[in-house]
Structure 1
């Protein structure tokens, strides 16, 4: 073995890496991204859950109770309504994660030691459900109802007077929360990967010359490459749904048609993202690297593995740019809470906007040339 020849090969590879900016960016970017995500963005201690309050008592004591709950840092009031029914509608739409119901006879219930407050929780997210249980420990101090002797003295915690009711997943089964999210994870991984190498593969196999000679426009070529994978994505969705219902008894409380419509939005968004990557990558290896660079934040920041509400606000803004974030809200809302697609219109509009932007950028970046 010649050390001189060996050193020549090492220098050649180093120079090649220096020219390959994407690979160089991955070498530095992936460790930095993982450090930032795990050290700064991911927080398992949920705080400031979006909450709705129905204070039917309207007394100083009921208002003080709400302030005590807010002081725990667990909830942040985002909606004030009059009835529990309005809170249930907001829960189903995903507008809030927690609802606090204070009945009109709150004072009487409190002094008699009966259930005085009810906390409604979106149990489709087991982490939110576990965090909300802390509200049951908020003490209810009893005071004289009038100037006469009080019916009960001392302070009583949530063991009897503050009840937490979890909807949609009262058994706290992890599969109920995970299986709908797995649809999004699988589609994100496969759809982006399939199309990320689409244009690059045509160049490497020499097929791009044939495509250049055809009268196809850029839009026709890009959309034509997307359509076959839509059917593949729907087959994957059906497989996960069937196995989820059969093996794990995951409920589908909403419309199956709307489940597929929501899935179609994610499929198209991921395919558009993959095409955008393929217009930037120069080889299939680069395309795979860039796919993983997108997939890692998607799985960590979307709310699939770690609670979305526990992330810092700037990271939440970044997560809003990921199609998987909006799809998870859609699929869990439809499958687990029985929400209608039109009730989740902000997420639908967000996915449509991402589709339009990414597809337009992919078409604009693509050139029917070999250089």
Structure 2
């Protein structure tokens, strides 16, 4: 063992890593990213769940009960509804996660000791379901205060019923399997197209493509379309296994499921194309793909509840295609909603695709340098 030659090789590797900005970014960026995401962004204690309050009683006791629930910070009213049916429609369309319904005979139910309040919850997310159950079991100090003034019986946790829709069995597979479609498509589609242009350069095929009359747009779109077919095949495989092995329902239109998958596929493919115009090697393309995949997994709402994240992180997550796809696929498969009803997320994916494709085409040059 010649220590001088060994030291020279070590010095050469260190200098090479210093010149490789992508590798240097991974050395420093990955631990920083994981520390910030897990320490700051990830929070299992849900606060500020989108909710609607339907107070049909309108009494001092019902208002005190509602204010007591809002004081916990678990829910915040973001929508308005006059009837339980309207609250259910908002729940189905994904506008809210929790609905609190106080019936018109609230005071009589409270005196009789019957169920006096219903908490409607979107059970497709088991974490949200657990938070709603916890909300119903909290002590209601305002109710106790009102009962002392009026002499009526206070509302106990047993008089607050929690009605879970779309996943009453609380099976985690019902929530995970639809999200896995998005995770798999994000991982494979970005990676496949991320190395597409780089691979042409490394294999020497770029010279042949330069000599052809293909325009930049034709070349880029031609690179995308075959992988879109592969993405649809992967979607079919996951859906078939989810139905047969885990009994995951498809309550909405199967066509809407595939249309939502197509939106995510093209969004990820155009993002991969943009990466391929920046990377100088296939290894660099895979490294850059990792920087996209890790935040998508952690911030989209697939592994951790979206409502538990700070507002700044939620704004960042809105840029990720997987965030919008999860809302679409869970809305269609689990709640039976249509893509028309979920139009904000549809528009977000379309806008992302157009922007990424425009940037990729503008950055690509039919030149070897």
TM-score band, normalised by shorter chain: over 0.9
Offset from partner CA, 1:226-280 (integer Å, 9 cap, x none)? 0000110000000000100000000000000000000000000000111011011
TM-score normalised by length of structure 1:
0.96
Q: Shift in Å at residue 137 of structure 1?
A: 2.0
Offset from partner CA, 1:15-70 (integer Å, 9 cap, x none)? 11111111111111111000000111000111110101111112222111111001
Q: Shift in Å at residue 141 of structure 1?
A: 3.5
Q: Distance in 2 between matches of 1:285 and 1:311?
A: 32
Q: Distance in 1 between matches of 2:3 and 2:145?
A: 85
Asked if structure 2 preserves the Cα contact closer than 8 Å seen for 1:109 and 1:116, the reply is: yes
Q: 1:141 aligns with which of 144, 154, 170?
A: 144
Q: Shift in Å at residue 135 of structure 1?
A: 2.1
Partner of 2:106: 106
Q: Shift in Å at residue 3 of structure 1?
A: 1.5
Q: Distance in 1 between matches of 2:80 and 2:214?
A: 56
Q: Number of residue pairs matched?
A: 366
State the 4+ residue runs in structure 1 displaced beyond 6 angstroms: 144-147
Partner of 1:195: 193
Structure 2 residue runs of 5 or longer lacking an equivalent are: none
Partner of 1:207: 205
Partner of 1:157: 156
Asked if structure 2 preserves the Cα contact closer than 8 Å seen for 1:136 and 1:157, the reply is: no
Counterparts in 2 of 1:43-122, with a 5 A limit? Answer: 43-122=43-122
Q: Distance in 1 between matches of 2:28 and 2:20?
A: 13
Q: Distance in 2 between matches of 1:49 and 1:337?
A: 18
Provide the secondary structure at the position in 2 that maps to 1:333: helix
Q: 2:263 aligns with which of 244, 262, 265?
A: 265
Q: Distance in 1 between matches of 2:301 and 2:23?
A: 28
**CA-atom RMSD, angstroms?**
1.5
- 120-129 vs 7-16, which deviates more? 7-16
Provide the secondary structure at the position in 1 that maps to 2:78: strand
Q: 2:237 aligns with which of 239, 259, 269?
A: 239
- 15-24 vs 118-127, which deviates more? 15-24
Provide the secondary structure at the position in 2 that maps to 1:343: coil
Q: Distance in 2 between matches of 1:135 and 1:94?
A: 20
Q: Distance in 1 between matches of 2:224 and 2:294?
A: 23
Q: Distance in 1 between matches of 2:237 and 2:46?
A: 33
Partner of 2:21: 21
